[in-house]
Amino acid sequence: MRARNVKILISLGLVIGAIALLMVTATTRSGYTTHYYRTASEFLARAPEYVDLPVRVNGKVVAGSIRRGAAAREGGPPIIDFVLGDSAATIPVHYEGTTVPDAFREGADVVVEGTYTAAGILAAKQLLVKCPSKYESAPTPNGQTAEGRT
């Protein structure tokens, strides 16, 4: 009886250990599996550490900052340069991909995934715009949307 229990415990332990090992190797192997996630001001406070690393930066598209440059190919989606910011700081972003989320516009809350270049520009690989509906805080009586925090 006891030998059997030991065998069971060992095999269960092996399975659990294997899972743990997988998790650890996936996490510590930095690069494409993990991204530093920051708001714009947090990011800029430690910007030099992030050069050439994959990052995700969250902020709002600063009004008036979207520049759609000439298309890389004719008829293709234009190159987009815009400024990402929160209340304290701003970062210029450069994006050349084809998938521009439909909700992308001035003032939109955006998560930019990409690499931070030495020149201080965020070269974006992906733009993720937060879903504008669902579970937002209530509008104030004069009809405008109150901001997130209570």
Interface ranges with other proteins (CB under 8 A):
1, 4, 7-8, 11-12, 15-16, 18-19, 22-23, 25-27, 32-38, 56, 58, 71, 73-78, 98-99, 102-103, 105, 109, 111, 128-143, 148-150
**b/e burial code for range 99-108 (CB count within 10 A of at least 16 → b):** eeeeebeeeb
Least distance from C-beta 109 to other proteins, angstroms? Answer: 8
Q: How far is the CB of 83 from other proteins (least distance, A)?
A: 20
Q: Following CA atoms 101, 102, 108, 112 in sequence, which dihedral angle do they give, to the nearest 10 degrees?
A: 0
Which residue, 48 or 141, is less far from other proteins as judged by CB?
141
Determine the Cα angle at 88 with ends 31 and 128, to 5°: 45
Q: Are 84 and 112 contacting, i.e. CB atoms less than 8 angstroms apart?
A: yes
Q: Closer CB to other proteins, residue 35 or residue 121?
A: 35
Rounded to 5 degrees, what are φ and ψ at 34?
A: -120, 150
Shortest distance, CB of residue 76 to other proteins, whole angstroms?
4
Radius of gyration of the chain (CA): 22
Q: How far is the CB of 39 from other proteins (least distance, A)?
A: 9
Residue 117 or 137: which CB sits closer to other proteins?
A: 137
